[in-house]
Amino acid sequence: MLHATSELEFSNEKNTENIAQLASLALSSDPSPSEKNSPGLPEKTGYPDSVYVMAANIFQGIRFEKSPEQVLIKYGNEPLRSLPESQDEAFQRSSYELAFSALKFQDILETILIDSYIFPSTTIPDHLNSLIIVMLYDFQDRKFQARLFSDNEEPIAEVQEVENLLNSFKTKLAAALARCRIKHDALSIYHILPETVRNQELRASTLPLYAWINTCKISPEEVHYSLKKKGYNKVKSVLHIDDKVYAVDQHCYDVLIFPSHLKNDLLNIDLFKDYKLIFQDKSRSLAVHSVRALLNMDDDILMVNTGSWYTVAHMSILTNNNTSKIFVCGVKSQAKDPDLKKLFTKMGCKNIEILHETFLNIESKDHRLQKVKVILLLPRCSGLGVSNPVEFILNEHEDTGLLKDFSQGGTSEDKLHILAQQQYEQLTHAMKFAKAQAVVYCTCSVYPEENEAVVKKALEFQDLGIKVQPYRLSPPVLPLCSLKEIHLSTDKFFRMEPSGITNGCFLSVLTRERDPSETVSVKDVLARAAAKGLLDGIELGKSSKREKKKKKSKISLPKAPTNDNNGIQMKIAEFLSRETNANANRSETLTTKASLPQKNATSAGSSSQVRKPSKPAANPLVPTFSKNTPHPSPHERQTNFVRPRPADRVIALKPIEIVLPPVMLPFSSPHGIKSQIPTQHFYYHWAGPKTGYFPSPLISRRGEKPKENLPSSLLRRPRPWL
């Protein structure tokens, strides 16, 4: 039992009136930023007993220890007996938030307990002091109002005893709090915190909510339609808007942004209950989208230190249409496998394989990872770019000791050095996987020691002994949406500074340099495609003048390759040889034809290719005859209309427009068509030697009108294009 032996004596002192006045001052303290920016937030009523117990045990493990001469309150080492740990996410979040708040105000709360004479006037077991600290913080946060109890809640004896003690000292606790505020000249105990911590809390209270769309279960269009039915309007920006609105993120097409005050309302709609929309920090979405941009259809992925399983699920959703497999390493306990498989099944993820080895213990030549082309590395970091430390600890990190750093607004040099060394070891190990072609490195830190310094050091000291190309720093694969982002990415690193819009983020993409020996020409690509039967029915383009002349002077077959793809390379060689012989035969035929007397004429429709005439003064479509040349018969004239192909020059083909003259249809055509036929018909004959030759009016130049004043007695010209 707890004993308060001096309570009655203290209540009879003459300064009772002054204490009441100070208590009223404490009760009227200004709200915290979270209260100011949460419109319609219900009045706080306290937590269940089990939350207080779990928060006390967390605080016991992360509290600041003082030197023996400064110790005012002893906490003991024995944890409180608690109920079986709840798997409810809200239960854990409430416990961590309460413990973290008590940690930030540990010195102030201890001073209040001493100043109010709870210590040392009462006999309290040391192992209950952690429980007193967390319950005192919640008591003053409720402005010393009574806690509401639930009928379904199972009471815990230790919690009930501490609560009775605090209620009996209610007035003196409020007066001690007021004196503390006056001493620090602060409107509330919130203003006593370091400025970095206050700014962090301010950002956390206004930071928008980010949620990605599970496209395996619903399309973006269906999400927009469903939100519109719920009263949510799509806007370009959600800043400083208190209405039910949302926006689409500029970097990730499947990420939506909501105002922070809508979280409780959003959690109650089916889109979030059915895992169609998932809340997650934007930095993790940036990481998986960077990996997606580097993948081919059948490339596997290795994810290291994933933190939240939602990150793994998001990666799986983005590769759902591929044959990629996602390997996740670092799962320490196999007991979690059934729960994880159940979660992934609910979300529609099918291509995930869990590895229970730690990343550094996985060999780079592991047979399971031979198709891994991209490694996503999310190392443990200080997380000082995050606005909400509790969310970061629960979702991305298991080290609750980092809450100490968050409560002080910074990380010690020693711990920062340890983290940077761990990150360097993981990054260099990832670069040893010979089959991998890219590594994506992402942190939530703002310290260069964990970001640029680690990447540059790994690139500088990478192992060049293995028979693979070295890694190099590549530009960001994400869109840069503002001048500030462009400026921050000039050195090929993608950065986002902590702000009222997003948490801090650092992202780097490392890719292997291209092997010069693997550079292939367009001709080689076409040859490989033809060898595989992918160009059936497609004619390959003709070679240029210089290449053709080289082939005529010297024809050589490609040397047989000595690599593993001998079969494919032999097919390529056969294909090139066949094409070369065909071109050579064609050249010989054209050369023979060019040596004979040729007539500069052609028959329309005999060839689909059009070339420029060699003599611009003459029409290449009309034959020329000498003086003694008799009139050829129609049959002869038709067979002689063959276009010559000069063998000594190759002209690049260009699309042109051919304007055909009006034609006369046969007399057996329908009457409706006859009425549209021109009344004047065009005839011509072969010109004599006196007049030479003249161009045929049937095929006029572009823009010219055909001549109509021809004698009607002329013979009619056959029309082979009909």
Q: Which of 180, 329, 349, 444 is catalytic?
A: 444
Q: At 624, list the tokens.
A: 């020329």
The token pair at 46 is: 């306290």
Tokens coding 5:
């032996």
The residue type of 282 is K
Whether 329 is a known active-site residue: answer no
Q: Is 254 helix (H, G, I), strand (E, B) or coil?
A: coil
> And the tokens for 110?
């201890």
Let me know: does 580 contact 551? Beta carbons within 8 Å.
yes
CA distance 4 to 59: 25
- Residue 321, classified by CB atoms within 10 Å of its CB into exposed (0-12), middle (13-18) or buried (19+), is exposed
Q: Are 310 and 344 in contact (CB under 8 A)?
A: no
User: Residue 210 in 3-state DSSP?
Assistant: strand
Rounded-to-integer distance, Cα 366 and Cα 429, Å: 13
8 Å CB contact between 718 and 634 = yes
The count of C-alpha atoms lying within 13 angstroms of the C-alpha of 163, restricted to the half-sphere facing its C-beta, is 18
Which conformational region is residue 220 in: left (phi greater than 0), alpha (psi within -120 to 50 degrees), or beta?
A: alpha
Two tokens, residue 667:
């007399």
* Calpha distance 132→159 (Å, rounded): 9
Task: Please state at what angle helix 129-141 crosses helix 89-104, rounded to 10 degrees.
Answer: 90
| Residue type for position 639 | T
DSSP letter assigned to residue 86: P
DSSP structure string for 116-151: TTHHHHEE--GGGHHHHHHHHHHHHHTTTPPPP--T
Q: Is the peptide bond before 120 cis (omega within 30 degrees of 0)?
A: yes
Show which residues are catalytic. Answer: 444
